[in-house]
Structure 1
Amino acid sequence: MSKVSSIAMSDRAQQLLKLLVERYIREGQPVGSRTLARGQGVDLSPATIRNVMADLEDLGLVKAPHTSAGRIPTVQGYRLFVDSLLTVKPLQPAEVRALQAKFEQAADPQQVLVTASALLSEISSMAGVIMVPRREQPTVRQVEFIALSGNRVLVVLVLDGNQVQNRMITTSRRYSPAELTQAANYLNHALAGKDFTKVRDTLLREMRETQESINQLMLMAIEIANRTFKAGEEGGDYVLAGHTNLMGYAEMADIDRLRQLFEAFNRKRDILHLLDQAAHAQGVQIFIGEESGYEVLDACSVVTSPYEVDGEVVGVLGVIGPTRMAYDRLIPLVDVTAKLLGAALNQQQ
């Protein structure tokens, strides 16, 4: 968030910052004082505007790229603009009906997700991303470890409803069948009847509380269980559409930057973590540049909104694009699409 309050700025400084950001978003070129002087409703001389621009630059809200005489917004400038100066343009009823019709054509929940990401990408000309709904974590009734060749272990999980899951893990060393039986007995006694998340949290808490007196059995059980639950988390996923659209933006034309971004899409972990943060927030969230916490997204903004099924948040959708994006249009687009996605998934249950 910007440390500069719009209240502390003069009206003309706010007006000029708003005009500059809007012009830069629209044209993608540094904005000079003479250009702003010709702006609608501006009755200031270029010299006065230059003084205001210098003040905005001192506040960290704009900057002059290279040796250009014009200025562009910084992350802080965008944040102040989005939080205090932006006028959102709601979608027209006809636009909402058109989006809704697309969802009604989807035959199954997976197609609903694909439709949502494609719509976000198509309308925004950026990347549309949907976090796949999180499944409820099952409760573990019993666990069994079976030694395989090398350091590999087959994990057999018996869940509520007598559902059985098998997972293959690789441990840091080879465990004997007797050691694996001991570890399974320890876990079954201490942790039975808890979901995966609570199992992991309990293990980590016990490890912290008993670090000095921790015994080899607990260490062994913790390692095997931790690898088991990590294997289960690999199923986390998202549906992505239109990421190649980002190649069309001049500010993202750096090949190395794009390569790193596409690698992040393929790796998924960082993007999923960012979406997961948004899932715990209310309504539309906007991460501008380095606010995401991931260097690979420093030139991007991410606009997200959680979506609900049966009144509970099950995932997040959003748009990823350059910081120079039309926030006034994308915010309502993401918000409405999230509501339509939730409604479509509810109907398909």
Structure 2
Amino acid sequence: MVSDRSLAVLRAIVQDYVSSREPVGSKSIVERHSFGVSAATIRNDMALLEEEELIAAPHTSSGRIPTDKGYRLFVDRLGEFRPLNQAQRHAIETFLGEAGDLDELLARTVRLLAQLTNQLAVVQYPSFGGAKVRHVELVPLGGTRVLCVLITDAGHVEQRVVDAEQEIEETDLADARARLNVAVGGMPLGEAADRLAGIDDPGDPALARLVRTVAGTFAEQARAQRHDRLVVAGAANLVRTEQDFAGSILDVIEAIEEQVVLLKLFGEMAGDPHGVAVSIGRENAPFGLGETSVVASDFTAPGREISRLGVLGPTRMDYSSNMAAVRAVARYVTRMLGND
């Protein structure tokens, strides 16, 4: 059983090691922290922590560093959110508030997170995978061009111009519009994409060509909306921490480039009562990221599935500050998307 003082010593070791990157010894703990006991007593506490595999000696020196298990205990029981100051909160609101659309907002979000945390920042693009087709509209633009408009139940509008290859009569366009709405109206976008790909041939060659062209266009739109992808920034931050990785950082970078890996990791991370999920070291080994930690939080947009944003870096990271920054940015993003 680890005593309260031993847990306080663990907190001190985590904080000092994150700050200095140097193994922490009993003498430095006595000098930097007010425990009111001797270095010998601190050494006894450190011995107990080592027995519990919460700290370890990286080499023959007397200093100790936290293990993945130690970081986990720190995050779950000992870490405290370090609140953002007024200047940081104002910077978040101002910088994100200047975004003109969703793409720019997410691009600004990862840049901001990378700057606030000095880690690699990742944002999952909001998906309309759960949205449904409210209406399909076809608008003649003159000649052979037709504007295809897809409207979801969340009010999102997706538009594309297609070339029907020949001029279409208004009656044929109305017929195609009706067929498409009957086929996919009220259907989830994911199912609509598959349904449109196999829509029945209406018989008339010209109308059939138009329906196939438009159906293919809407299938592309629906698939694009349900496709998960990530926006990433701050790779230079990861490179600057290369000495925190025992192996090659290239393995980490390759795993990050495989976006499906991070998306799966995001999906399996469990949040805590503070609204932040943290996955540490060996917990990420199945994803090829066993030397990294990930801090993530959810954000939402009307009509879209819940998405996540967060930061990835070495296990030696400032968890308290990073957790506070990730949670704050996620809340701002949710607020701004809700105001759109």
Count of residue pairs the alignment pairs up: 266
SS in 2 for 1:239: strand
Structure 2 residue identity aligned to 1:274: L
Q: Deviations over 1:106-156 (max 9, x none)?
A: 11100000010000001111101000001134679xxxxxxxxxxxxxxxx
Contact 2:126–2:301 (8 Å) recurs in 1: no
Check conservation: 1:128, 1:241, Cα contact below 8 A.
yes
**Shift, 1:274, TM fit:** 1.1
Number of the residue aligned with 1:60 = 53
Task: Assess, with a 3 A threshold, how the Cα gap between structure 1 residues 34 and 301 changes in structure 2: closer, same or farther.
Answer: same
Could you tell me how far 1:347 is from its partner in structure 2?
2.6
**Equivalent residues in 2 for 1:177-188 (5 A)?**
none
Partner of 1:70: 63
Is the CA contact 1:279–1:316 (under 8 Å) kept in the aligned structure 2?
no
CA distance in 2, matches of 1:280, 1:11: 26
Q: Flag the 1:311–1:29 CA change in 2: closer, same or farther, 3 A.
A: farther
Whether the 8 Å CA contact 1:131–1:237 is kept in 2: the answer is yes
Alignment match, 1:309:
301
2:120 maps to which of 123, 127, 142: 127
Identity fraction in percent = 33
SS at match of 2:127: coil
1:272 aligns with 2:253: no
Candidates 38, 42, 50, aligned match of 2:35: 42
User: Which of these residues, 254, 266, 270, is aligned with residue 263 of structure 1?
Assistant: 254
Task: In structure 2, give the amino acid aligned to 1:57.
Answer: E
Report the counterpart of residue 25 of structure 2 in structure 1: 32
Conservation of the 8 A alpha-carbon contact between 1:264 and 1:270: yes
TM-score, normalised relative to structure 2: 0.69
Taking the aligned partners of 1:338 and 1:11, their CA distance within structure 2 comes to 33
Matches of 2:315 and 2:249, distance apart in 1: 14
Q: What is the deviation of 1:321? A: 1.0
Q: Is the 8 A contact 1:246 1:252 kept in 2?
A: no
Q: Deviations over 1:48-97 (max 9, x none)?
A: 22222111111010000122221000111111111111222111233212
User: What are the Cα deviations for residues 200-244 of structure 1, in whole angstroms up to 9, with x where unaligned?
Assistant: 9xxxxxxxxxxxxxxxxxxxxxxxxxxxxxx98993210000022
Aligned ranges 1:18-29 → 2 under 5 Å: 18-29=11-22
Residues of 1 paired with 2:292 and 2:248: CA distance?
Answer: 11
CA contact (8 A) 1:116 1:337 kept: yes
RMSD: 3.2
3-state DSSP of counterpart to 1:83 = helix
- Distance change >3 Å, CA 10–CA 137, structure 1 → 2: closer
Comparing 24-33 with 231-240, greater Cα deviation is found at 231-240
Q: Does 1:102 align with 2:79?
A: no
| Structure-2 separation of matches of 1:284 and 1:311 | 22
What amino acid does structure 2 have at the position aligned with 1:93? Q
Match of 1:239 among 224, 231, 235: 231
TM-score (structure 1 length as normaliser): 0.68
> Does structure 2 conserve the Cα–Cα contact (< 8 Å) formed by 1:60 and 1:74?
yes
Counterpart amino acid of residue 113 in structure 2:
L
In the other structure, the counterpart of 2:289 is 297
- Give, in whole Å, the separation in 1 of the partners of 2:305 and 2:151: 23
